[in-house]
């Protein structure tokens, strides 16, 4: 959008005064931020309106991405960038003596998601809009986002994230579009005399679902999609039975908290309620809109609408869509089923069995009686149809209702036309192992969609310096098409370009070093290798392997302080799930190891360890550009894809990693020698599973280095980790090291040494870094969403 600096300054000043009855001399940052956001909203509002009109008039097919989590981070700069006014606004504010980056700090991180799955959903939102694809989000507007992490005495402490306290300037509350979602009560079917079974209800609990729309603005185009988030409220006219405080409390709880504590029955029930709540509200709105604006035959809806089930949390889309079609819109069962399967598609994001959702039949029956009936009917019909064709064992293994549980992945696969994994290796594992029985029955439904990242946020916003250098070197076309970065390959031997890249990295390291000093009070050496592991804390991601290697380096230096070592700064960022005890013990150990090492004068600045608290999207934007090395060291087969690996690659960071998830595709794309690969392969891991012959205790006893390090966990060498050190020691030596940390240790040490060797040759390192950037194109989520659009959703991009 064309906007002059003069116009902007005028609009901004006026808005500041009209909104807050103040002026530039007195306004605080919160007021400045709100006024600025409000001006920006004014700029995009018309584009949003026209794009909605365009969508309604053309009636083109749209996709709806149902996700119980989104992790957008801050939106101010990304909206400005996408509207093409970042520079103008920055300069306009500068004229007033205001720093845009200071204003941006006021915005809370929108964190209504936990990690990879939620962040991917937000990358997709950005990419859908930026590629002109009509694709919208549907989720929950949690009052409290992901907890804020504090580190106190080395322990993780969780604080509530009340991100809405100062309002949210980007959202629009659409009270007119509220719908009702119902729970519990009784349902029975009565024949209407024409042979149709009509459901009748009694004593249902009604909840009002109010949508809040947030625009998803495309990058320098005219597409604005919608992320619709639902808030639960008490309906105005309430049955007397529900006019009590407990009901009010429960209703507001529904959209209060991201992932309620699921260690007790009430917490689990609440989670199931949340799942149905946003599914039902979202589908109702889609259908109202379809009937209202398009006036088309409901039986042709699959030509106009695609609904995506992001992991199994929205799996109730399948029976709810059936309910709406059959009960509310009078479509016959067979036609409705055919339509549902065409409309729905499903992505699996993990093979870890604890994440495969199942709900007790009884719970579903009581909370969602009609949905339960429909699931039973889907299961019954399918079983009757398939038994004669494929035999009892395959049918049994793939049933939706089994052992008193409703299996949500089974429901998702059966009720949709597409099931995909998120990287090649992961999709193969789904076909060959985890979901093999389904693959036998529905081979055509299985496909791969390797993840990607919204490159605009992860380089144009996070790393303006590097972006500028790339512009100078190859022009700006890469900003619209990340594949264009391949032009950088022509500069692999160009000393000037390599120097500039090195300088940019160094400056980003200085920026991070300053932040580390401010937040952690630790002074780090910017010439050191910045070696970063940032992601959720989980045993399979093996932060522990990283920590054990740090201990090795430390003991080496203690023994020989003059050792010729490239200085290292190890940086961690990780939240542990509040009830995940073992993960919290690892955080405590890392922090105590950091304390011990950072305060030991003998290692000087050759080794530092920094745990940055409250890792989130904004912190990632500071840390990732400054990384020389990114750690992607999960046990092969466990990380479905990973996406930080792609963000690092984009920022010229070299990866040290296992042959897991998307690492494999990254190593392939970057080319041999440009990253550091180690560890067991997926096949070797499965070989151990088959033979049951892994023995971690042997390694502990026979490898003196491992022995020394593990003993340090329990012999008082590392202060203040008496119970945590013991817990971790036992997990490795008594409980046989579930994630093969000790098995991969030696090869990890070897890869770390290779890495250090390459770092001593700055030119070779810079070339490898350049090759990572140059080959990152295919990891743009623009590519990923285009594949979803072409192969799964059958939606088409708007032509500008
Ligand atoms: C994550 C996977 O662990 C990660 O490998 C992947 O990159 C990401 O999804 C996006 O596909 N999974 C989750 O965040 C998650 O919550 C459980 O999975 C359902």
* 450 touches ligand 1 (CB under 6 Å): no
Ligand 1 center–CA 531 separation, angstroms: 23
- Of 349, 448, 536, 648, the residue with max ligand 1 atoms within 8 A of its CB, to mutate for a pocket test, comes to 349
Residue 719, pLDDT score: 97
Q: Could you tell me if 794 and 135 are in contact, meaning their C-beta atoms sit under 8 angstroms apart?
A: no
Whether 439 and 508 share a structural domain:
no
Domain membership flag for residue 28 = no
Residue range 536-549: mean pLDDT, rounded? 98
Q: Which ligand 1 atom is nearest residue 642's CA?
A: 7
Q: Name which residue sits closest to atom 4 of ligand 1, judged by CA.
A: 642
Which residue, 409, 430, 449, sits at the end of a domain? 449
Provide φ and ψ at 633, rounded to 5°: -115, 25
Does 243 have pLDDT greater than 90? no
CA angle at 26 for the pair 21 and 27, rounded to the nearest 5°: 70
Whether 296 and 165 share a structural domain:
yes
Does 588 have pLDDT greater than 70? yes
pLDDT-based confidence at residue 241 (cuts at 50, 70, 90): confident
* 115 touches ligand 1 (CB under 6 Å): yes
Whether 313 and 426 share a structural domain:
yes
* 113 touches ligand 1 (CB under 6 Å): no
Domain membership flag for residue 17 = no
* 452 touches ligand 1 (CB under 6 Å): no
Number of domains the chain contains: 2
pLDDT-based confidence at residue 294 (cuts at 50, 70, 90): low
Q: Which ligand 1 atom is nearest residue 312's CA?
A: 19
Model confidence over 94-152: pLDDT tens digits?
Answer: 999 999 999 999 999 999 999 999 999 999 999 999 999 999 999 999 999 999 999 99
Name the one residue in this structure whose structure tokens are 């994230």.
161
Domain membership flag for residue 16 = no
The rounded radius of gyration (Å) of the Cα atoms in the chain is 27
Whether 301 and 183 share a structural domain:
yes
Whether 584 and 672 share a structural domain:
yes
Ligand 1 center–CA 38 separation, angstroms: 34
* Contacts of 336 by beta carbon, 8 Å cutoff, 6+ apart: 321, 322, 325, 326
Domain membership flag for residue 596 = yes
Question: What is the rounded CA–CA span in Å between residue 16 and residue 645?
Answer: 41
Question: What is the rounded CA–CA span in Å between residue 78 and residue 81?
Answer: 5
Does 502 have pLDDT greater than 80? yes
Which residue, 400, 419, 449, sits at the end of a domain? 449
Ligand 1 center–CA 307 separation, angstroms: 19
Residue range 241-246: mean pLDDT, rounded? 81
* 355 touches ligand 1 (CB under 6 Å): yes
Model confidence over 571-582: pLDDT tens digits?
Answer: 999 999 999 999
* 645 touches ligand 1 (CB under 6 Å): no
Residue 293, pLDDT score: 76
Would you report the helix, strand and coil content of the chain in percent, each value rounded to 5?
55, 15, 30
Q: Which ligand 1 atom is nearest residue 352's CA?
A: 17
- Of 116, 314, 353, 781, the residue with max ligand 1 atoms within 8 A of its CB, to mutate for a pocket test, comes to 116
pLDDT-based confidence at residue 195 (cuts at 50, 70, 90): confident
Q: DSSP character for 634?
A: P
Note down the domain range covering 618: 459-680+741-784
Model confidence over 424-471: pLDDT tens digits?
Answer: 999 999 999 999 999 999 999 999 999 999 999 999 999 999 999 999
Whether 595 and 486 share a structural domain:
yes
Whether 611 and 572 share a structural domain:
yes
Does 631 have pLDDT greater than 90? yes
Q: Name which residue sits closest to atom 7 of ligand 1, judged by CA.
A: 642
Stretch among 156-165, 295-304, 764-773 having the lowest mean pLDDT: 295-304
Domain membership flag for residue 11 = no
Residue 174, pLDDT score: 98
Ligand 1 center–CA 537 separation, angstroms: 13
Whether 347 and 478 share a structural domain:
no
Q: What's this model's pTM, rounded to 2 decimal places? A: 0.98
Ligand 1 center–CA 433 separation, angstroms: 18
Whether 429 and 573 share a structural domain:
no
Question: What is the rounded CA–CA span in Å between residue 461 and residue 475?
Answer: 17
Tokens encoding 731: 């997990």
Model confidence over 42-82: pLDDT tens digits?
Answer: 999 999 999 999 999 999 999 999 999 999 999 999 999 99
Ligand 1 center–CA 422 separation, angstroms: 9
- Helix or strand or coil: residue 286? helix
Strand ranges for 467-586 from DSSP E: 529-534, 568-573
Mean pLDDT score of the chain: 96
Domain membership flag for residue 267 = yes
Which residue, 425, 449, 473, sits at the end of a domain? 449
Ligand 1 center–CA 311 separation, angstroms: 9
Q: What distance lies between CA 132 and its chain's CA centroid?
A: 22
Question: What is the rounded CA–CA span in Å between residue 512 and residue 519?
Answer: 10
Q: Could you tell me if 454 and 785 are in contact, meaning their C-beta atoms sit under 8 angstroms apart?
A: no
Residue 394, pLDDT score: 97
- Of 71, 112, 115, the residue with max ligand 1 atoms within 8 A of its CB, to mutate for a pocket test, comes to 115
Whether 505 and 624 share a structural domain:
yes
CATH number at residue 208: 3.40.50.2000
Residues annotated as part of the active site: 349, 535-536, 541, 643, 647
Strand ranges for 174-311 from DSSP E: 179-183, 186-191, 197-202, 205-217, 224-233, 305-310
Domain membership flag for residue 95 = no
Does 153 have pLDDT greater than 80? yes
Does 340 have pLDDT greater than 70? yes
Whether 482 and 575 share a structural domain:
yes
Domain membership flag for residue 689 = no
Does 248 have pLDDT greater than 90? no
Q: Could you tell me if 583 and 537 are in contact, meaning their C-beta atoms sit under 8 angstroms apart?
A: yes
pLDDT-based confidence at residue 604 (cuts at 50, 70, 90): confident
Q: Which ligand 1 atom is nearest residue 451's CA?
A: 11
Whether 473 and 442 share a structural domain:
no
- Of 68, 117, 540, the residue with max ligand 1 atoms within 8 A of its CB, to mutate for a pocket test, comes to 117
Comparison of pLDDT for 542 and 355, the residue scoring more: 542
């Amino acid at each position: 959008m064309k906007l002059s600096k003069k116009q902007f300054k005028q609009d901004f000043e006026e808005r500041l005064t009209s909104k807050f009855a103040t002026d530039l001399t007195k306004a605080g940052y919160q007021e400045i931020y709100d006024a600025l956001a409000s001006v920006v909203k004014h700029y995009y509002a018309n584009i949003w309106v026209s794009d909605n009109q365009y969508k309604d008039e053309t009636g083109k097919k749209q996709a709806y991405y149902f996700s119980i989590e989104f992790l957008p981070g801050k939106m101010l700069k990304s909206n400005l960038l996408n509207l093409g006014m970042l520079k103008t606004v920055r300069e306009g504010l500068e004229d007033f003596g205001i720093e845009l980056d200071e204003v941006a700090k006021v915005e809370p991180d929108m964190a209504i998601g936990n990690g990879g799955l939620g962040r991917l959903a937000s990358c997709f939102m950005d990419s859908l809009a930026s590629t002109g694809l009509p694709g919208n989000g549907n989720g929950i507007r949690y009052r409290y986002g992901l907890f804020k992490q504090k580190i106190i005495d080395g322990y993780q402490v969780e604080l509530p994230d009340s991100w809405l306290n100062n309002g949210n300037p980007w959202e629009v509350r659409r009270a007119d579009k509220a719908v009702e979602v119902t729970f519990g009560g009784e349902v029975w079917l009565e024949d209407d005399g024409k042979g149709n079974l009509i459901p009748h209800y009694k004593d249902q609990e009604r909840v009002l679902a109010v949508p809040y729309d947030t625009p998803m603005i495309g990058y320098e185009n005219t597409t604005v999609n919608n992320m619709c988030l639902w808030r639960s409220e008490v309906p105005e006219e309430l049955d007397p039975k529900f006019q009590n405080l407990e009901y009010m409390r429960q209703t507001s709880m529904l959209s209060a908290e991201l992932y309620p504590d699921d260690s007790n029955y009430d917490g689990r029930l609440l989670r199931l309620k949340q799942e149905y709540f946003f599914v039902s509200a979202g589908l109702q709105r889609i259908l109202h809109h379809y009937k209202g604006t398009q006036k088309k035959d409901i039986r042709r809806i699959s030509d106009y609408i695609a609904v995506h089930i992001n992991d199994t949390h929205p799996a109730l889309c399948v029976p709810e869509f059936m309910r709406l079609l059959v009960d509310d819109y009078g479509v016959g069962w067979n036609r409705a089923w055919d339509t549902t399967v065409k409309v729905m598609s499903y992505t699996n994001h993990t093979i870890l069995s604890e994440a495969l959702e199942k709900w007790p039949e009884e719970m579903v029956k009581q909370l969602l009686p009609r949905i339960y009936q429909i699931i039973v009917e889907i299961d019954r019909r399918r079983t009757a149809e398939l038994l004669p064709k494929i035999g009892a064992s395959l049918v049994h293994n793939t049933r939706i209702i089994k052992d008193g549980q409703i299996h949500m992945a089974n429901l998702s696969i059966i009720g949709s036309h597409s099931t995909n994994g998120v990287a090649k290796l992961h999709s193969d594992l789904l076909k060959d192992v985890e979901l093999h029985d389904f693959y036998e029955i529905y081979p055509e439904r299985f496909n791969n969609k390797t993840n990607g990242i919204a490159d605009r946020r992860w380089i144009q916003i996070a790393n303006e310096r590097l972006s500028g250098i790339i512009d100078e070197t190859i022009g700006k076309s890469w900003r619209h098409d990340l594949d264009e970065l391949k032009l950088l390959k022509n500069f692999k031997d160009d000393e000037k370009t390599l120097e500039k890249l090195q300088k940019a990295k160094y400056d980003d390291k200085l920026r991070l070093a300053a932040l580390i000093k401010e937040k952690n009070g630790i002074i780090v050496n910017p010439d050191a290798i910045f070696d970063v592991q940032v992601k959720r804390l989980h045993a399979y991601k093996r932060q522990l392997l990283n920590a054990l290697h740090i201990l090795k380096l430390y003991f080496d230096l203690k023994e020989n302080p003059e050792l010729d070592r490239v200085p290292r700064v190890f940086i961690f960022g990780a939240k542990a799930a509040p009830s995940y005890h073992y993960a919290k013990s690892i955080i405590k150990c890392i922090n105590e190891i950091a304390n011990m090492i950072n305060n030991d004068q003998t290692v000087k600045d050759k080794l530092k360890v920094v745990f940055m608290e409250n890792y989130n999207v904004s912190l990632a934007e500071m840390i990732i550009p400054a990384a020389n090395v990114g750690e992607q060291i999960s046990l092969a087969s466990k990380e479905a894809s990973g996406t930080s690996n792609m963000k690092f690659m984009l920022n010229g960071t070299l990866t040290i990693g296992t042959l897991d998830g998307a690492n494999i595709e990254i190593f392939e794309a970057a080319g041999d020698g440009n990253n550091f690969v180690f560890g067991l392969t997926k096949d070797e891991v499965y070989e151990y599973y088959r033979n049951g012959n892994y023995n971690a205790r042997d390694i502990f006893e026979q490898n003196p280095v491992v022995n020394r390090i593990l003993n340090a966990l329990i012999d008082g060498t590392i202060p203040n980790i008496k119970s945590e050190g013991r817990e971790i020691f036992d997990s490795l030596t008594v409980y046989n090291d579930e994630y093969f940390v000790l098995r991969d240790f030696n090869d990890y040490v070897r890869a770390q040494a290779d890495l250090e060797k390459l770092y001593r040759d700055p030119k070779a390192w810079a070339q490898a870094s350049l090759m990572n950037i140059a080959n990152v194109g295919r990891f743009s989520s623009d590519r990923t969403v285009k594949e979803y659009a072409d192969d799964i959703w059958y939606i088409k991009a708007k032509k500008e």
